[in-house]
Amino acid sequence: MSVEVKDISPVVISRLPRYYRYLGSLKDADVERISSKDLSDLMKVTASQIRQDFNLFGGFGQQGYGYNVSKLYEEIGKILGIDKIHDVIIIGAGHIGQALANYSNFENRGFKIVGIFDNDPNLIGTTIRDCKVLDASTVPDFLKDNNIDIAIITVPKNQAVAVADMLVHNNIKAIMNFAHVDLLVPDEVIVENVHLSDTLLKLSYRLRESIENV
């Protein structure tokens, strides 16, 4: 059975990583099947939402049996494009870049950090986890020699736009951007921004609102 990904709405897609995480934990705990009701209790979403979401890509559920955890996990992995390993590079070996290079969850999810780059002579040549920090000027050559779709940008704000330009010119297709600035890239390049202070702002907004409503 092949899944028609295009028919799945962005809202459902945004829920897939969380389903994938819960199913992965169940799989790790050797749970073979689970009912929408039990999954609902676990994830604190309604059983009807779970049934609706899973029906969209073929279901894998059976009345009185529940969902086959492994199959569902595998199928959602395919939809998410992680049925294969993605090689990833990090541009910026500062604190955030180092933290990400050390973040084992990325590799567990099929994202392998194969290169870390910086323009700081003090960082070039040092080793983070298994990766040597390379000179940022060698990124274009590295991209020519390796099959890499995804780059993570963790350089300071004032360098990020130029770095993104360079990556796009060297055929990077997707960017995870931690610099606190909006990148200017062609429409076909995929960008996900992680603006950490924006998240704190949302938190402080909700905090202010909750205090005023007391």
Binding region for a second copy (CB under 8 A): 5-6, 13-14, 16-18, 20-21, 43-44, 79-82, 86, 88, 95-96, 98-100, 102-103, 105-106, 108-111, 149-150, 173-174, 176, 180, 182, 188, 190, 192, 194-213
Of residues 69 and 113, the one with the C-beta less far from a second copy = 113
Measured between alpha carbons, how far is 37 from 41 in angstroms, rounded to an integer? 6
Q: Cβ 63 to a second copy, closest distance in Å?
A: 28
Measured between alpha carbons, how far is 30 from 155 in angstroms, rounded to an integer? 41
Q: Which residues pair with 176 in a beta bridge?
A: 152, 192
Q: Cβ 212 to a second copy, closest distance in Å?
A: 7
Of residues 31 and 82, the one with the C-beta less far from a second copy = 82
Q: Cβ 65 to a second copy, closest distance in Å?
A: 26
Task: Identify the residue whose tokens are 């028919």.
Answer: 7
Task: Identify the residue whose tokens are 């990090």.
Answer: 90
Q: Cβ 161 to a second copy, closest distance in Å?
A: 13
Of residues 6 and 144, the one with the C-beta less far from a second copy = 6
Of residues 100 and 136, the one with the C-beta less far from a second copy = 100
Q: Cβ 167 to a second copy, closest distance in Å?
A: 14
49-75 burial: b if 16+ Cβ within 10 Å, else e = ebbebbebbeebbeeeebbbbeebbeb
- Other beta carbons within 10 angstroms of residue 193's beta carbon come to 15
Measured between alpha carbons, how far is 30 from 14 in angstroms, rounded to an integer? 26
